[in-house]
Amino acid sequence: MAVYTMLIVVSCGQDDLASPSAFARIKILHMAPLAGNNSVKVLVNDEDVLLRNRFNVGSGAAARSVDSTLTSIAFGGVIPANSFSNDSTYLGVPAGSVKVKLVAVASNATVFEGAVNVEPSKNYSIFAIDTPTVNPLVIQDELPRAKQGVAGVRLGHLAQNAGAVDVTVVTRNRRVKATNDTVRVNGVNYKSFTGFNEFKSGDTIIGVVARRANDTLRLLNLTTASIALLNGRNYTIVARGAGRTFQSLSSTVINHSR
């Protein structure tokens, strides 16, 4: 299982999606472990995307709108959110320089403001990471093509101060209820992601266990619920948290849609 570092970008939807080739697709993810009430408002190109009545997602023939009832996103949150449908899709935005701003709900203070560049017809995830200074991590999402009987799973390490971790993924076969596949990745560094690894669709991930590299004692199950792997889908499981104490780490699971 190869491990590599990727850059991640966030962006938001616009109303005119008539020319798909001129647009990029993005999702925004809040992984910055801010103190106190860490919910943030998200502005893209000076527009508060969560105050819009609807999101425009996708592009071209696949473009559609989804309702938003959110006014902010908490730590670990994703825009567009998984709750909009059975997946987290992407927001269509004009390619080029995209201005992103995050504002803390509790204090109304700007915690991040900057521009990211996105290329036409490409998918990006933009992660807000680090504390006390929030930084963007921009990753181009090169999603594997759907294959019959296969689901793709990628692991990301965004837990600040946790150091390198060894990660083990265990799945259970849906028919025989027995452990099926175990994949272990050693020495995953902060801000690094693995590639998408193939698992059998229909199986269920029952554990994603992190252990600090060279530490034989402390284990942490990053998942609080099992993850059913759907046919042809791709998933990213992100370890997050400040990492000052290993047990403070948790995870976000993203079910990607093209």
Per-residue pLDDT at 12 exceeds 80: no
Supply the pLDDT for residue 192: 92
Contacts of 195 (CB under 8 A, 6+ apart): 1, 2, 3, 4, 154
Find the radius of gyration of the CA atoms of the chain: 18
Residue 50 token pair:
């969560």
Q: How far is CA 177 from CA 43, 55, 167, 180, 200, in A?
A: 45, 40, 22, 9, 14
- Per the CB < 8 A criterion, the answer to whether 146 and 232 are in contact is yes
- Per the CB < 8 A criterion, the answer to whether 79 and 33 are in contact is no
DSSP 3-state of 114: strand
Supply the pLDDT for residue 161: 81
- Strand-strand pairing, 179-188 and 227-228: unpaired
**Residue 4 pLDDT grade (very low, low, confident, very high; cuts 50, 70, 90):** very low
Determine the residue type at 196: F
pLDDT tens-digit map of 87-97: 557 888 899 99
Write out the E strands in 189-230: 192-194, 197-200, 204-212, 219-221, 227-228
Point out the least confidently predicted range of 5-9, 36-40, 58-62.
Answer: 5-9
Supply the pLDDT for residue 220: 63
Supply the pLDDT for residue 193: 92
Query: Measured on CA atoms in the order 180, 186, 190, 195, is the torsion positive or negative?
Result: negative
Average pLDDT over the chain, rounded to whole?
76
Contacts of 18 (CB under 8 A, 6+ apart): none
Supply the pLDDT for residue 139: 93
Query: Measured on CA atoms in the order 64, 67, 204, 214, is the torsion positive or negative?
Result: positive
What domains does the chain contain, in order, with CATH numbers? Answer: 3-140 (2.60.40.10), 150-256 (2.60.40)
- Per the CB < 8 A criterion, the answer to whether 205 and 153 are in contact is yes
pLDDT tens-digit map of 165-212: 888 887 877 554 445 556 778 888 899 998 898 888 888 887 777 777
Supply the pLDDT for residue 187: 83
Supply the pLDDT for residue 72: 84
Q: 0.85 cut: is pTM over it?
A: no
Task: Tell me the mean pLDDT in the region 152-167.
Answer: 86
Task: Tell me the mean pLDDT in the region 232-241.
Answer: 88
**Using CA atoms, how far apart are residues 75 and 48, in angstroms rounded to an integer?**
18
Q: Residue 190 gets which letter from DSSP?
A: T
